[in-house]
Structure 1
Amino acid sequence: MSRTTTAIRAGVLLGVIGVAAGAFVYFDQETPPPAPVAGATRQNALPESVNDGYTFERLDNPPRTVVRDSRTVVAATMTDGARTVVITGPSRTFREPKATTADVTTNAWVRLAPQAWKQGDESADWLRPWLTKAMSDKSPDVLAVAMEYLDGAAEQKNAEGVRFRGDASFGPVASTGAGRLERSDFYDYLGVPWTFADGTRTKPDSKHYGAVDCSGFVRLVYGYRMEYPLLGTNTRGPGLPRRAYAIAAFGPGVTPVPNTGQRSTAYDALQPGDLVFFEVEGGADELDHAGIYLGADSDGRHRFMSSRERINGPTLGDVGGTSLLDDGGMYSRGFRAARRI
């Protein structure tokens, strides 16, 4: 059953761009100076390049490199051990009016570098060509791609006729002796078989077509759409495992918020695009929910996106529990860890 009417999405960010009220809205406006980096300790500032005017500054907690332009404005942040890069770009506002009155306005654009960052990569051959291209790239980034699966999002098919974006549901949930089983992965949404790098081949379940559970949503956005390597199992390897607990425990990247088994309030350690993990079912002592951190919303709260059963699909809204890390709600109480891939 369709969740709502179809939204219309524009393809570029020029002026004010809108999508149907049930989904989201972008605004392109003058980019304000970024806020100071929270919880950071400044280390040595590296020499300025005579070619492009960039300066590279090392910070810790976690170890990372901040790129500043000739105006000393933060242009990008790269974390040691992670491929996700936060780039300062045109400001956008993400909304889901049917599910929350809050919105998220951000000038953070989250993209994937060709390899995990390490100290000293400011001199690597790949960096400046990639960074120059990424700084001017206005195609959908991680956050914009995630919004393409909200209630009412417009459908689009590729040349092979596979619907790769559009309103996603959560999918059926089965009960087993071991508890609830959520089985909608990215290939179920696509409706195509998939062969993983280790040779594992899977077939979609027709009952789950157009659906992604919480970790399936993460894999759809970061894996299928942004081309981050994916695993077909819950094992350690060069890619994203299948389930939330496995991504959190031994997925790729770094852990700005490690899992101590207790509720975390380390919000300042997060950056947009981080994967956030929760224990919400209770009794299993296992991380059972995953989402994508968006940043501070219009109420000053830390908001994330995830695919959920009650609202039947991906949401940044407050149906079936507020999508917040810091309001004392169900997900706030269950927030345990974060990973930057």
Structure 2
Amino acid sequence: MAAKARKKPRPVVSGLVVLVLVAVSGHLTLELREREGTGVTEVVDAGVLDGTRGIGGAPGDEGGESWFRLENPARSVLRDADGRVRAVLTDGARTATLTGPARTFEEPAPASSGVSTTDWVRLMPEPWRKGAEKEKWFTQWYARYKDSEEDDLFAAVFRYAAGAPREKDGRGVVRAGGGLPRTADAVARSEEGVDVLPLTGVSPDHRPSAIDRLQPGDRVFFELDPRSEGRLDHMGMVLGYDAEGHLLFVSGREGLDGPAVGGPGGVFRLDGDGHYARALRSAKRL
């Protein structure tokens, strides 16, 4: 499994990043959504709360960039002068989705699947909050990463593909600490981050009715084993859309050392009525 992108400096990835992004004991699938030209994948189930031209020294001052507030979940969106999304930052979450150069993450076998994306998912030093675009910590962070090609969370995950050092247990969980719960069930039920698809139960009747609030970097949680006795037993991370328009997630796969986008049973998809789509129960933005 490899990403078709030039080698870039690899900053130290915190335990939080690795645990949350690579600590996946599930599988991967993402759902088909429309893209708004080139840039961050647009979230469609949302209404505009307000929009303001960049002010007060915020990064939106230059180049005609503008900040907007959206709901479901509450978040700030930065658009350029042509209306293209440059960044999506969700209240209460540390992961930010930025626009960057296109990359392809693919797996030639056995699933023969992959995703080409301009989404770069990065970890902010603090959880996002309304108005943070004017704060010093964010302006400094954004100035560093807005055009950066340093490894992001996707790149960190794919470094743990097949053949990576054995830092994972049998379920594909990286032993990296970071203060997050160890199991998929505990992470899903924790107060960390923002519930994008709230957990209402683990039975088949509790499958989310719509998943168009998901965006790249979101963690998705599954009940794949009926013997789990009311617990969520797998976790993955939304990756993006494949060439056929299916939303894929990346996750651990039994029998391989590291994350994958598919297995002997097919590609890890969140849309449709496949095995993983039917097992989806909730999602968080951490």
TM-score, normalization: structure 1? 0.66
Q: Which moved more, 1:81-90 or 1:96-105?
A: 96-105
Cα-to-partner distance string for 1:68-92 (whole Å, 9 max, x where unaligned): 2333321100000000000011111
Report the counterpart of residue 339 of structure 1 in structure 2. Answer: 284
Judged with a 3 Å threshold, the aligned counterparts in structure 2 of structure 1 residues 123 and 142 are, in CA distance, closer, same or farther, namely same
Tell me which of 55, 62, 67 is aligned to 2:73: 62
Query: Are 1:216 and 2:173 an aligned pair?
Result: yes
* CA distance, structure 2, for counterparts of residue 7 and residue 136 of structure 1: 19
Tell me which of 64, 70, 86 is aligned to 1:75: 86
Report the counterpart of residue 241 of structure 2 in structure 1. Answer: 296
Mark the runs of 5 or more structure 2 residues left unpaired by the alignment: 10-36
Report the alpha carbon displacement of residue 32 of structure 1 after superposing the two structures with TM: 2.4
Query: Are 1:230 and 2:191 an aligned pair?
Result: no
Taking the TM superposition and a 5 Å limit, the aligned residue runs for 1:28-177 are 32-33=38-39, 36-49=42-55, 51-53=61-63, 54-152=65-163, 166=164
Specify the SS of the correspondent of 2:262.
Answer: coil
* CA distance, structure 2, for counterparts of residue 125 and residue 334 of structure 1: 42
Name the larger-Rg structure.
1
Superposition RMSD in Å? 2.7
Query: Are 1:287 and 2:232 an aligned pair?
Result: yes
Cα-to-partner distance string for 1:89-117 (whole Å, 9 max, x where unaligned): 11111110013223211110000111001
Cα-to-partner distance string for 1:166-218 (whole Å, 9 max, x where unaligned): 265xxxxxxxxxxxxxxxxxxxx1xxxxxxxxxxxxxxxxxxxxx3455724x
* CA distance, structure 2, for counterparts of residue 245 and residue 253 of structure 1: 15
* CA distance, structure 2, for counterparts of residue 8 and residue 299 of structure 1: 19
Report the alpha carbon displacement of residue 34 of structure 1 after superposing the two structures with TM: 5.0
1:278·1:337 contact (CA, 8 Å) conserved in 2?
Answer: yes
* CA distance, structure 2, for counterparts of residue 8 and residue 90 of structure 1: 11
Kindly report structure 1 stretches of 4+ aligned residues shifted beyond 6 Å. 6-9
Report the counterpart of residue 252 of structure 1 in structure 2. Answer: 192
Cα-to-partner distance string for 1:246-280 (whole Å, 9 max, x where unaligned): 00001410010111221124321111111110001
1:267·1:302 contact (CA, 8 Å) conserved in 2?
Answer: no
Report the counterpart of residue 319 of structure 1 in structure 2. Answer: 264
- The amino acid across from 2:173 in the alignment is G
* CA distance, structure 1, for counterparts of residue 126 and residue 114 of structure 2: 32
Judged with a 3 Å threshold, the aligned counterparts in structure 2 of structure 1 residues 86 and 8 are, in CA distance, closer, same or farther, namely closer
Report the counterpart of residue 253 of structure 2 in structure 1. Answer: 308
Specify the SS of the correspondent of 2:226.
Answer: coil
1:310·1:320 contact (CA, 8 Å) conserved in 2?
Answer: no
Judged with a 3 Å threshold, the aligned counterparts in structure 2 of structure 1 residues 136 and 100 are, in CA distance, closer, same or farther, namely same
The count of aligned residue pairs is: 249
Mark the runs of 5 or more structure 1 residues left unpaired by the alignment: 14-30, 153-165, 169-188, 190-210, 232-239
* CA distance, structure 2, for counterparts of residue 257 and residue 333 of structure 1: 14
* CA distance, structure 1, for counterparts of residue 103 and residue 154 of structure 2: 10
Q: Percent identity?
A: 37
Report the alpha carbon displacement of residue 337 of structure 1 after superposing the two structures with TM: 0.6
Structure showing greater relative contact order (alpha-carbon pairs closer than 8 Å, 6 or more residues apart): 2
* CA distance, structure 2, for counterparts of residue 9 and residue 212 of structure 1: 29
